[in-house]
Chain A
Amino acid sequence: MLHFNQFEKSYFNHLVLKIDNIKIPEGIFWIKGSNGSGKSTLLKAIAGILSFEGDIAISTIYLKNHGVSYRKLVNFAEAEPLYPEFLTGFEMVDLFAKAKGAVSDQKETLIAEMGMKPYIHNPLGSYSSGMLKKLSLVLAFLGKPKLILLDEPLNTIDVESLEILYRWINEKHQNEKISFLLSSHQPLDELKLPGLKQINIQDKKIILNF
Chain B
Amino acid sequence: MSLLSNTALKKIFVEGFYRTHAGMLVFIFVVLISYCLFINTLGTVRPDQIDFWQFFFTISLVSNPLILTFYLIGSSLYAYKSLKYVLNQMALPQQEFLYYSFTSAAKKQQFMAWCVVQTCIFIPLLCYTLYAITIGIVFGYYLISIGILLFQVLLIVASAYICLKENNRLIEANKPDCLIRVSRKWNKPVFLLYTFQVFNQSKLAYVLTKLLSWVLISSVLVVFADLKDDSRLLMLVTSCIVVAHVVLIYQEKVFNNRYLSFLSNFPFTKEKIFFSFCLNYLVLLLPEICWIFTNFGILTSFGLIAFTFSTILLFRSLLLLNAMQIKGFLIWVFSLFFLFYVFIMFGFGLILIPLNVIVAWILFNRNYLNNSILC
Interface string of A69-92 (1 = CB under 8 A from B): 111101110100011111110010
Contact pick for B267, options A11, A69, A86, A88, CB 8 Å: A69
Task: Using CB atoms and an 8 Å cutoff, list the residues of chain B in contact with chain A.
Answer: 173-174, 176-177, 180, 184, 188, 190, 193, 196-197, 200, 255, 258-262, 264-270, 322-323, 369-371
Which residues does chain B contribute within 8 Å of A47, judged by CB atoms?
A: 264-265
- B261 near A87: Cβ-Cβ < 8 Å: no
A192 to B174, CA, bound (A): 39
Residue interface bits A44-72, CB-to-B below 8 A is 1, else 0: 00011111000000000000000111111
Q: CB-CB < 8 A to B177: which residues of A?
A: 86
Whether A50 contacts B193 in the complex (CB less than 8 A), given A86-B180, A125-B174, comes out as no
Question: What's the Cα separation between A78 and B262 when bound, in Å?
Answer: 9
Nearest to B93 among chain A residues (CB) is A129
Q: Kindly list 8 other residue pairs between chains A and B, CB separation below 8 angstroms, not including A78-B261, A86-B180, A88-B184.
A: A11-B371, A47-B264, A49-B264, A50-B369, A69-B267, A71-B267, A82-B258, A85-B200
> With A and B bound together, what is the CA distance between A101 and B266 in angstroms?
10
A46 to chain B, nearest CB (A): 10
- In contact, B174 and A83 (Cβ under 8 angstroms): no
Chain B residues, Cβ within 8 Å of A33: none
Q: Are B259 and A84 in contact (CB under 8 A)?
A: yes
21 A-B residue pairs with Cβ-Cβ distance under 8 Å, sorted by A, are: A47-B265, A48-B265, A48-B369, A49-B261, A49-B369, A50-B369, A51-B370, A70-B267, A71-B268, A72-B267, A84-B193, A84-B197, A84-B255, A84-B260, A86-B197, A88-B184, A91-B188, A95-B190, A96-B262, A99-B266, A125-B176
Contact with B265, one of A49, A86, A87 (Cβ below 8 angstroms)? A49
Of A68, A74, A88, which one neighbours B268 at CB under 8 angstroms? A68
The smallest C-beta distance from A39 to any residue of chain B, in angstroms, reads 16
Question: How far does the Cβ of B283 sit from chain A's closest Cβ, in whole Å?
Answer: 15
A78 to B174, CA, bound (A): 25
Measured CA separation A95–B267 after assembly (Å): 12
Most chain A CB inside 10 Å of its own CB: which residue of B174, B188, B270: B188
B260 neighbours in A (Cβ, 8 Å): 84
Q: Does A21 contact B (CB under 8 A)?
A: no
Alpha-carbon distance between A12 and B172 when the two chains are bound, in angstroms: 41
Instruction: Give B369's nearest chain A residue, CB to CB.
Output: A51
Give A32 to B370 CA distance when docked, in angstroms. Answer: 26
The answer to whether A84 touches B196, judged by C-beta atoms less than 8 angstroms apart, is yes
> Are B266 and A82 within 8 A (Cβ)?
no
A71, B266: Cβ atoms closer than 8 Å: yes
Contacts of A87 in B (CB 8 A): 188, 193
Specify which of A75, A78, A86, A96 lies most central, judged by the most chain B CB atoms within 10 Å of its CB.
Answer: A86
Residues of A within 8 A of B323 (CB): 12
User: Known contacts A82-B259, A126-B173: does B193 contact A48 (CB below 8 Å)?
Assistant: no
Contacts of B188 in A (CB 8 A): 87, 91, 95
CB-based contact A99/B371 at 8 Å: no
B176-A123 in contact (CB<8A): yes
Task: Assess whether A51 is in contact with B184, with CB atoms less than 8 Å apart.
Answer: no
10 smallest beta-carbon distances between A and B, as pairs: A51-B369, A49-B264, A71-B267, A72-B267, A99-B266, A86-B180, A68-B267, A47-B265, A86-B200, A84-B259
Smallest CB-CB separation from A74: which chain B residue? Answer: B265
Once the chains are docked, how many angstroms separate the CA of A192 from the CA of B112?
57
B262 contact set on A, CB distance < 8 A: 49, 76, 78, 96, 139
B99 to chain A, nearest CB (A): 17
A101 smallest CB distance to B (angstroms):
8
Which residue from chain A places its CB closest to the CB of B371 in the assembled complex?
Answer: A50
Residues of B near A101 (CB, < 8 A) are: 267
B-contacting residues, A79-125, CB 8 Å? 82-88, 91, 95-96, 99-101, 123, 125
Residue of A nearest to B258 (CB): A82
In angstroms, Cα B370 to Cα A14, docked, is: 15
Task: Give A195 to B70 CA distance when docked, in angstroms.
Answer: 72
Instruction: Collect the chain A residues with CB atoms within 8 Å of residue B180's CB.
Output: 86, 123
A192 to B262, CA, bound (A): 29
Contact status B196-A86, CB under 8 Å = yes
Of chain B, the residue at the smallest CB distance from A139 is B262
Q: Are B176 and A86 in contact (CB under 8 A)?
A: yes
Give the distance to chain A from B314, nearest Cβ to Cβ, in Å: 21
Question: In the complex, A126 Cα to B180 Cα: how many Å?
Answer: 13
Residue of B nearest to A51 (CB): B369
* Bound complex: CA A160 to CA B23 (Å): 48
With a cutoff of 8 Å between Cβ atoms, the chain B residues found around residue A76 in the complex are 262, 265
Q: How far is the CA of A70 from the CA of B264 in the complex (A)?
A: 12
Whole-angstrom distance between the alpha carbons of A47 and B334 in the complex? 36
Known: A47-B264, A87-B188. A67 touches B269 (CB 8 A): yes
Which residues of chain B come closer than 8 Å to A86, judged between CB atoms? 176-177, 180, 196-197, 200
State which of B190, B267, B370 has its C-beta within 8 Å of the C-beta of A100.
Answer: B267
Q: Which partner residue on chain B sits nearest A46 by CB separation?
A: B265
Q: Are A48 and B269 in contact (CB under 8 A)?
A: no
